[in-house]
Amino acid sequence: MTQNKQGALKKPDIDWILLAMTLFEATAFILLALYDGFDPVSLILAVSVPLILVAQVLLLGRAFPHMDKYILIVANFLCGVGLIMLYRLAPDKALKQLLFYGVGVMAMVCMTFLVARFRHWRVLRLPVMGVSVLLLALTLVIGKETYGAKNWIDLKFFSLQPSEFVKVALILCLAMDLSEKRTIGQLLPVGLFAVACVGLIVLQKDLGAVLICFIVCIVVYFTATSNWLLCLSGLLAAAGGSVVMYKLFPHVQTRVAIWQDPWATPQDGGYQIVQSLIAIASGGMSGLGLGLGSASKSVPVVESDFIFSAVCEEFGIIVGLTVIALYVLLFIRGMLLAMRARSSFHALLAVGTVTSLALQTFMILGGVIKMVPLTGVTLPFISYGGSSMLSCMLMLGMLQGVSIVVGEQDESQWRMARRREAWQP
Amino acid sequence: MREIKKNARAVLCAVLVMFIALGGYFFYAVYNYGSRWFTTPYNTRLRAAKKTVIAGDILDRNGAVLVTSDADGERVYPTDRDTRKAVSHVIGDANAQVPTGAETFLAADLLGFNANIFDRAAQIFQQKRKGSDVTLTIDAALQTYIAEVFPDENDGAVAVINYETGEVLALYSSPEYDAKHPENFEDLEQDNGVLLNRATQGRYAPGSIFKIVTLACALENIPGVTERTFTCEGTYQIDEENRLTDTDGEGHGTITLKEAFTKSCNIAFGQLAMELGEDKLRATAEKMGFNGNFLFDDLIVYESLFPREIPDAGELAWTGVGQGRLTAVPLHMAMIAGAVGNGGWMVEPQLVMTVSDSAGGVKNSLNTKNYLQCFSPQNAAILEEYMLATVAEGTGARAAVEGHSIAGKTGTAQVNSSGGRYSPHAWYVGYCAEEEHPYAIAVVVENGGSGGSVAGRLAGKIMKKAIDIVE
Amino acid sequence: MNATAYELLSAIAKYWFIALALFILARMVLSVTREIRIERQVQAEIGQAGTGINATLVLLSDEDRKIKRGKRYAVQGETTVGRAGRCDVTLRAHSLERVHCILNMERDGMSVVPVGRAFVVVDGQVVQRRATAQEGSEIQMGGLVFRLCLEETNDAE
């Protein structure tokens, strides 16, 4: 479907978008270089971050012409915005994040290759399941507790959050098994795996991850089987479970109370959300200007969970809404891939990935603007965090793999169609 | 595959719906609540800005300085103690202890957060930045006069507004505090809620002034109600347990609806309320902003409350005459009275007249907005006739101002407390029905006694002063 | 650099960032809608020319004799066959399960995967988990027997 002498199909070019993104990232880092004296590191970032973006489009675009460029550049731009914000909030973390970003891009390429070219998925099934459950169990034993959830494994130089990777594994296994097997008996292994994952994450008290895994399972299962009854009863069971949790655990009750009225406890329980709302309101429509906000001082965990508040304060609500719109574009493209796919494995892979990313984005954005109760999940691509960045990049790789498979099938069939037309005038 | 495709489309739709809701909520919340979030006392930016920015002045409508800053950025209040105290609740304080005051709620302007590029460019060459000056619609002289005539021994509130433009001319709350001496705020607050602005946040039982709402509801829902007569014997047995009584206990005899209103007959209005029923009464009250959510640009006003449910006929009847679990906020009541004079439309109250930044740019911030249509023009005319008659020959006689046509309604709200029976709150709401003087007023004197003699007399004096001095 | 000067610079730059962000979004929406239109067009052309069809099943016999012999069914990529309306190929035959089997094009022929305990025979062998059918294979599902005709493959250029 590249330009073809027989056809008039010309793909829209993205040069202008790339240019604008490059300018955005470069000027932002140059501006930050002038903040408080002169900072050469920022200038290095001003070159390297756009370079990673452009290099990916050029190199990967050549290697895989059917890669979805829109998904690629949107995700990379979001990473860029995250890096800008992080460099402004905590420069040392931004440099670490740059490393994660680089590793993430490589992971994405591997995943893309795997999904597009690897055919023996069944071999991977058991090892992936085993490692995932093992990691989660290990976290329970040697995990580190932060903000009430025990979901980190400390590896000295790098903290691992297994639940992030388990999401990827879960989507892969679900897509693999549901694409071939339809009866309850055949689905028992993957069902047990899902239950084990969700159960172990519940034990870690990582509410956000539980919700994401659970809903991803239900959505993928529903997409594969159209089994309304089971999915609805699953959701009802989940609702019942949350009510029981609400009644049993006082910390869940506090969360809900804080969500309903954070202003009642502005100094303790509601502090995060109150400060987040104040930060957003301080920015107004056009923002205070990069480097002029004070979210870094007032909002706790601003570099991961609450990074969107900082973006809104310094870049303004218009840019904040643009970021939301870019996420939506990414999800639309991803879901359209699922609708074009010719095999259910690829379709389910795309559906699972998009559901997971969309849900995560919704939960944290809704949380920081007090639309839904806050669950401590990261904002995909933007938030600081190695595990989060890697898992998002792996998911991006899965989408790209699907895009390549679908694109190649489309192209060969389209060429044939054109040839037939030429033969039979 | 067809099936999966269809389901994927459904999932996509669900995702889209989620994010449209997210974006919509985000925009809605920031648009409506943004300035409120920003001006909370918990905003560290304001505290930080006070160190680097010299806050702008607050002036009254005639240019009298209510607060200014000295060269070091310290806030300086007028030397005249009476003025200082009279406007205390409107101004607030420098430490955000009175979070609803202009010092805190208008901080974005005062500290120059809303300044534009050119303003910022000009500030580069200045040592210390200066915020914008804010001119309020308040008339300090009127406010000082109110403080002077308001009974010293009683707490209470007075609100005076221009019901055509929405300008708030006076917002007085007693007891006052002295912003010059913030060190004893804590003791004051523990004593008797001195820091509360009763004119915008005080929730009082409305008493008979609520009959305006009951009457409006009857006019809307009962055709020909104006022709009706009522028999009043001083008391009325609703059922075995509940009894409706008139204030003085002697009956009014057979009276028309108009007489019932001007004489403030509880029996007639209690019966009307029972006939109308809880739902219709609530609907009318909510049309006037009861149980609403006031999100005005310039000031924080609590909404009055109509009970979510009324359990029995007795409470319904008492609600119709303004007792029961009803609460009313003085400024809101002035806005309702003003709506009668304004052909049925309640306008949004405005506290800020102009904002002038340090570079000399002046932004006019008055923009009259119709907020709610409380009454149809016909019903507003009937209400006006009745309220004029109340002042001319009824309970509100003492609120009359010679040579001017004043409409009003008095209220005497019974308050029961665990400590025994106190004197009732004295209420008066009304307005001047003249185009040159479109002023509406609400007065509440806590435990002041009879509405007509205490609040009405006070309102008459204040209205006369307002007509004389406000331009 | 002077703090106030930076402040001014940043306050100006914020409009630049807003403009860029809005530009990116607008161009993005434009390009994506155009891309989607092209993809639709490609799908339509493939559908018209029938090049998306990888194989055809020809009905040889029906136990119930309800469906006419010789009727053809197209297999496009992954295809579900069964009694239910949501299947890609719906056959109203009592001997079939709701979703009876999944056919999929692979490099070495067409894979046949029965769903649950559905009865499928390929070239005389009862299929337990998966079988691969070739050009001319006889496939029996419930009481229906088909012959498989593979179409010209995509690689034959």
pLDDT of residue C156: 39
C contacts of B5 (beta carbons < 8 Å): none
Q: How far apart are CA B54 and CA B386, in angstroms?
A: 52
Confirm or reject contact between C153 and chain A (CB < 8 A). Answer: no
Q: Which residue of C has its CA nearest to A21?
A: C24
- Per the listing, tokens 């999915």 go with A231
B358: left (phi over 0), alpha (psi -120 to 50) or beta: alpha
Q: How far apart are CA B197 and CA B331, in angstroms?
A: 11
Q: Whole-model pTM?
A: 0.84
Q: How far apart are CA A29 and CA A34, in angstroms?
A: 9
Residue C60 reports pLDDT greater than 80: yes
**B356 classed as catalytic:** no
**Tens digits of residue pLDDT in A37-91:** 888 899 999 999 999 999 999 999 888 888 999 999 999 999 999 999 999 999 9
Task: Confirm if B454 and B426 have CB atoms less than 8 A apart.
Answer: yes
pLDDT of residue A105: 95
C contacts of B16 (beta carbons < 8 Å): none
pLDDT of residue B394: 87
| Closest by Cα among A343, A354, A360, A356 to A399 | A354
Q: Is the peptide bond prior to C114 cis by the omega test (within 30 degrees of 0)?
A: no
Q: How far apart are CA A236 and CA A253, in angstroms?
A: 20
**Tens digits of residue pLDDT in B380-402:** 999 999 999 999 988 888 999 98
Please provide residue A320's backbone torsions phi and psi, each rounded to the nearest 5 degrees.
Answer: -60, -45
pLDDT of residue A6: 43
* DSSP class per residue in B85-140: HHTHHHH--TTSSSTTSHHHHTHHHHTTTT--HHHHHHHTTSSSEE--EEEES--H
Q: How far apart are CA A359 and CA B156, in angstroms?
A: 52
Q: Which residues in chain A (6-65) have CB-CB distances under 8 A to chain C?
A: 9, 11-14, 16-17, 20-21, 23-24, 27-28, 31, 34-38
pLDDT winner (highest mean) among A232-241, B207-216, C127-136: B207-216
Neighbouring residues of A124: CB distance < 8 A, sequence distance ≥ 6: A172
pLDDT of residue A8: 45
ipTM of the complex: 0.92
DSSP B263: T
Residue C155 reports pLDDT greater than 80: no
Handedness of CA B144, B150, B156, B161 (dihedral sign): negative
Q: Which residues of B76-107 are buried (b: 16+ CB within 10 A; e: fewer)?
A: ebbeeeebbbbbbbbbbbbebbbbbbbbbbbb
Question: Are A325 and B4 within 8 A, CB to CB?
Answer: no
pLDDT of residue A333: 94
Give the C-alpha distances (Å, rounded to integers) separating A421 from A418, A425, C51.
Answer: 5, 6, 11
Q: How far apart are CA A45 and CA B364, in angstroms?
A: 45
**Tens digits of residue pLDDT in C71-107:** 888 888 888 888 888 888 888 888 888 888 888 887 7
Q: At B450, is the secondary structure helix, strand, or coil?
A: coil
One-letter amino acid of B339: A
DSSP A341: -
Distance from CA of A146 to the nearest CA of B (A): 26
pLDDT by residue for chain B (471 residues), tens digit each?
788 899 999 999 999 999 999 999 999 999 888 888 888 888 888 877 777 788 889 999 998 999 988 877 788 888 888 888 889 899 988 777 777 888 888 888 888 776 666 666 666 666 667 888 999 999 999 999 999 999 988 889 999 999 999 999 999 998 888 877 776 666 665 566 788 889 998 899 998 999 999 999 999 999 888 898 888 888 888 877 778 887 766 778 889 999 999 988 888 999 999 999 999 999 999 999 999 888 888 888 998 999 988 888 888 998 998 888 899 999 999 999 999 999 999 999 999 999 988 777 788 888 888 999 999 999 999 999 999 999 998 888 899 998 899 999 999 888 875 555 678 899 999 999 998 999 999 999 998 888 888 899 999 999 999 999 887
Confirm or reject contact between C104 and chain A (CB < 8 A). Answer: yes
- Mean pLDDT, chain C, rounded, equals 84
Confirm or reject contact between A355 and chain B (CB < 8 A). Answer: yes
pLDDT of residue A359: 95
Instruction: Give me the catalytic one of B132, B208, B356, B358.
Output: B208
pLDDT of residue A298: 84
**Tens digits of residue pLDDT in A362-396:** 999 999 998 998 888 899 999 998 899 999 999 99
Q: How far apart are CA B49 and CA B212, in angstroms?
A: 47
Residue C138 reports pLDDT greater than 60: yes
Q: What is the mean pLDDT of residues A97-112?
A: 94
Give the C-alpha distances (Å, rounded to integers) separating A171 from A127, A217, A385, B21.
Answer: 15, 8, 21, 26
Question: What domains sit in chain B, N to C, each tagged with a CATH number?
Answer: 207-353+364-469 (3.40.710.10)
Residue A14 reports pLDDT greater than 90: no
Q: What is the mean pLDDT of residues A179-189?
A: 75
Please provide residue B353's backbone torsions phi and psi, each rounded to the nearest 5 degrees.
Answer: -90, -55
Q: How far apart are CA B425 and CA B205, in angstroms?
A: 8
pLDDT bucket at A23, cuts 50 / 70 / 90: very high
pLDDT of residue B438: 93
Residue A1 reports pLDDT greater than 90: no
Task: Indicate the burial class of B425 (C-beta count within 10 angstroms; 0-12, 13-18, 19 or more).
Answer: buried
Confirm or reject contact between A410 and chain C (CB < 8 A). Answer: yes
* DSSP class per residue in B324-390: TT-BB-HHHHHHHHHHHHTTTEEEPPB-EEEEE-TTS-EEE-----EEEE-S-HHHHHHHHHHHHHH
Q: At A267, is the secondary structure helix, strand, or coil?
A: coil
- Lowest-confidence range among A24-28, A418-422, B219-223, B296-300? A418-422
Distance from CA of C126 to the nearest CA of B (A): 25
Question: Are A342 and B1 within 8 A, CB to CB?
Answer: yes
B contacts of C7 (beta carbons < 8 Å): 120
Q: How far apart are CA B182 and CA B94, in angstroms?
A: 9
